[in-house]
């Protein structure tokens, strides 16, 4: 009897176990839940968008700096009142703070993308035009000349 080879017994390959498959799926799910950012800022102002007849979609939202203008939400009205406020990122600011906000947004973009940066004004339809004009004047002073107004399509 030979030790190597004499018999033609073929051994079956064992089946792949799927017991660790659920662990891998949950690890991937946990990874994507931790690394994904759903919303960068919390809305602290109420904004009812005005209607527009001509609406164009913003192509690259990552190159947009958002300025929200409206009255504070109900939970903040006791602290800030009901007058229109400017929200930059997660806090209320004044018109004079827009220059620093735009400078910080420009610094966060790459050198090639800075010229394509757009400032989006998301203003409530009942906000007085004076505050919007003040915002536009300050944007002009800091050379942020690409401005887009966020609106909803007319029905």
Q: Where are the domains of the chain?
A: 45-153
Provide the β-strand partners of residue 86: 69, 93
Span 119-145, pLDDT tens digits = 999 999 999 999 999 999 999 999 999
Q: What is the CATH number of domain 45-153?
A: 3.30.420.270
pLDDT digits (tens, 9 = 90+) for 22-43: 899 999 999 988 888 766 678 9
| Residue 108 pLDDT level (bands cut at 50, 70, 90) | very high
Q: Which of 56, 114, 124, 64 is nearest to 89 (CA)?
A: 64
**Is the predicted pLDDT of residue 5 greater than 60, yes or no?**
no
Share of the chain above pLDDT 70, in %: 92
**Cα(139)–Cα(107) distance, integer angstroms:** 16
Kindly report, residue by residue over 52-65, the tens digit of the pLDDT. Answer: 998 999 888 889 99
pLDDT higher than 80, residue 113 = yes
């Amino acid at each position: 009897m030979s030790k190597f080879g004499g018999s033609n017994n073929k051994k079956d390959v064992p089946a792949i176990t799927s017991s660790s498959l659920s662990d891998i799926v949950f690890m991937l799910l946990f990874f994507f839940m931790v690394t994904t950012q759903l919303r960068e800022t919390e809305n602290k102002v109420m904004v009812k968008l005005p209607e527009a007849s001509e609406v164009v979609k913003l192509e690259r939202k990552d190159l947009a700096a958002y300025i929200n203008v409206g009255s504070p939400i109900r939970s903040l009205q006791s602290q800030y009142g009901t007058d229109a406020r400017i929200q930059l990122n997660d806090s209320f600011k004044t018109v004079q703070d827009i220059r620093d906000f735009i400078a910080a947004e420009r610094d966060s973009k790459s050198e090639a993308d800075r010229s394509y940066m757009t400032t989006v004004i998301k203003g409530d339809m009942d906000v007085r035009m004076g505050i919007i004009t003040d915002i536009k004047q300050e944007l002009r002073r800091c050379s942020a000349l690409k401005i887009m107004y966020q609106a909803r399509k007319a029905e």
